[in-house]
Amino acid sequence: MSTETADGDEELRERISNFLRRNFPQIQMHGGSAAIQDLDRENGEVTIMLGGACSGCGISPMTIQAIKSRMTEEIPEIDTVYADTGSDGGSEGMAGGQVSPSFPGETTSDDDSDEGPDAPF
């Protein structure tokens, strides 16, 4: 994999993680986690794993459907989203402590280029 491809993958992973934090803060607020399990930039596919309190949650199917429909609208490189619940999240997105959640009105950096509309809930 070339350095350019690796940089592009990292940038896309960050945009996906930001999308999850920005649009679905309730996942972490309710004790769940969302993590990128796999990213296939060439085919426009991403696999998201919901973990923690999301496992067994009755509204997880609705959350998964919302992630699938919104992500393909907001991130043009992504055509297909696979998502499921599990007891162990990965280390990206809202799991593993690498990235803290963002909440409506909160500013975490000087670069607001990836900021979109606040979540409606």
Q: How far apart are CA 98 and CA 55, in angstroms?
A: 21
pLDDT interval class at 22 (50, 70, 90): very high
**Rg of the chain in Å (alpha carbons):** 14
Would you state the pLDDT for residue 114? 54
pLDDT of residue 119: 57
Supply the CATH number for residue 43's domain.
3.30.300.130
How many structural domains compose the chain?
1
- Which residue carries 């309190």 as its tokens? 53
> Residue 56: what pLDDT?
82
Round to whole Å and give the CA distance between 33 and 90. Answer: 9
pTM of the model: 0.65
Tokens of 37: 């399990």
Residues 47, 20 contacting (CB under 8 angstroms): no
Domain membership flag for residue 62: yes
